[in-house]
Chains A and B, each alone.
Chain A
């Protein structure tokens, strides 16, 4: 008898890939970036499907295929999840201390920098006629 296609293995693996590669999309929304629950949900669904697929492949091998491919894809999925977790829960938290940053109540350092049109902008000019200015330091796009 021809054994059946073990679809949860493949669909589960696609969910795991989705969990990894959708980070750039979900990171656009602060609610999904502060904690990557959307990505972890995709990893979780993928993991559950892979587990079901492996259970079928090894539990009823006369009915379902996928012992070898299921093992390989599950190993890859585990590696991808470990990589994602390492990046999200370790690398992103390696922020150096900012001991020299001006504190609340201190004078903010004056500056002159070029804007996107190569026009020099000073802090004094930004503050004149305004109530306040919020300076957002970011890593850059390079």
Chain B
């Protein structure tokens, strides 16, 4: 997500919101945002309910066997339709911001 923070001006210029979601509680998200200098929202899904609904649960992979999210990225257009998905097969390999920006080029002009 560090690379998304670095490219945040490009996302802002195109009207694309960047959101992080994990099982971390809001206070942990606040601390991490401050520590890492993230200015986009980090949302908290402590029971992994939403993570389940998005089909990206990694059960038992968290602390003390807790359920967490597996890394995944979804690009959703303004009508709420998924336009691009990245489901990695390697925890260390995440989507690059350029991939998301390229994917966003493929639907409609910038801005509304």
Q: Which residue numbers of A lie inside 8 Å of B, CB to CB? A: 27-28, 30, 33-34, 36, 88, 92-93, 95-96, 98-111, 113-118, 121, 123-124, 126-142
A-B contact count (CB 8 A): 215
One digit per residue, 1 when the CB lies within 8 angstroms of any chain A CB and 0 when it does not, for chain B 15-59 equals 111111111101011101100000001111100001101111111
- Smallest beta-carbon distance A58→chain B, Å: 38
Q: Which residue numbers of B lie inside 8 Å of A, CB to CB? A: 1-4, 11, 14-24, 26, 28-30, 32-33, 41-45, 50-51, 53-59, 61-63, 68-85, 87-96, 100, 104, 107-108, 110-112
Q: Evaluate whether A137 and B110 lie within 8 angstroms (CB atoms) in the complex, with A95-B91, A127-B78 already known.
A: no
A110 to B82, CA, bound (A): 12
A110 to B54, CA, bound (A): 10
A100 to B96, CA, bound (A): 23
- Smallest beta-carbon distance B59→chain A, Å: 7
Q: Which residue of chain A has its CB nearest to the CB of B21?
A: A137
Pair A142/B63 contact, Cβ less than 8 Å: yes
Q: Do most interface residues of chain A lie in helix, strand or loop, or is the interface mixed? A: loop
A115 to B107, CA, bound (A): 28
B-chain residues with CB within 8 Å of residue A141 when the two chains form the complex: 22, 24, 28, 32
Pair A34/B93 contact, Cβ less than 8 Å: yes
A-chain residues with CB within 8 Å of residue B41 when the two chains form the complex: 115-116, 121
Pair A139/B84 contact, Cβ less than 8 Å: no
Pair A130/B72 contact, Cβ less than 8 Å: no
Pair B55/A102 contact, Cβ less than 8 Å: yes
Q: Which residue of chain A has its CB nearest to the CB of B22?
A: A140
